[in-house]
Chains A and B, each alone.
Chain A
């Protein structure tokens, strides 16, 4: 079955440092979505990427979809304490979304 892997599982940064999480799929995806889950909260949709090589930005967040549509990344520039949480990617090809395990981000002030 389709597998979606995320690395790293956990990252602890100082406020102001950059952060990147990577998502890799065992199969070519039709699209990929990113979600954020704050501690004690529920996943909240951030963005969807559909096109090969697509890059989208949301303020300090940059999302990329690989040319082969099998990998994606989320990069946060100059992290803030409000960025704390777990970031999930979710990919799909001819089936419902498959979520990665997520990357937990901790930001120290």
Chain B
């Protein structure tokens, strides 16, 4: 499946590093999402963008900074992360989005992040 791509697939970073995760969708969707998946926890929604505007931010620490320059691209900028931020970060897209959207979500392969 190549509808939603994510780079890099694996990332190891120190707590003082700055890095960015990239997501691109080729489905013509208008909404994009960042999720965090940790072991033994449900998928945690971090950010939702609809038509490039952020519509939901579930109280994510400021060391995570999203950017959505257009409806096809989504970034997650990382700065001074903690070891407990190590997880699989999944990007998803849907046809429409926002607080009342229940459209099917198409997930990317994820970025496996390890913070040392």
Contact = CB atoms under 8 A, between A and B. Distances in A.
Which of A33, A45, A94, A101 lies at the interface centre, i.e. has the most chain B CB atoms within 10 A of its CB?
Answer: A45
A42 B90 contact: yes
A58 interface: no
A33 B105 CA distance: 10
Interface in A23-81: 30-31, 33, 35, 41-45, 48
Contact of A95 (B99, B105, B108): B99
A85 interface: no
Contact of A43 (B48, B97, B107): B107
A13 B67 CA distance: 44
B109 A33 contact: no
Which of A48, A97, A102 has most B Cβ within 10 Å?
A97
A88 interface: yes
Given A42-B107, A88-B43, A97 B102 contact: yes
A87 interface: no
A59 to B, nearest CB: 19
Interface residues of B, number: 23
Nearest to B44: A99
Contacts of B106: 45
A95 to B, nearest CB: 6
Interface of A: 4, 30-31, 33, 35, 41-45, 48, 88, 90, 92, 94-102
21 contacts: A30-B102, A33-B102, A42-B90, A42-B108, A43-B43, A45-B104, A45-B106, A88-B43, A92-B102, A96-B45, A96-B48, A96-B56, A96-B99, A97-B102, A98-B42, A98-B45, A99-B43, A100-B42, A101-B41, A101-B42, A102-B42
Interface of B: 1, 33, 40-43, 45, 48, 56, 90, 97-102, 104-110
Given A33-B102, A88-B43, 14 more contacts: A30-B102, A35-B107, A41-B109, A42-B109, A43-B105, A45-B106, A92-B102, A94-B100, A95-B99, A96-B56, A96-B98, A96-B101, A97-B102, A101-B42
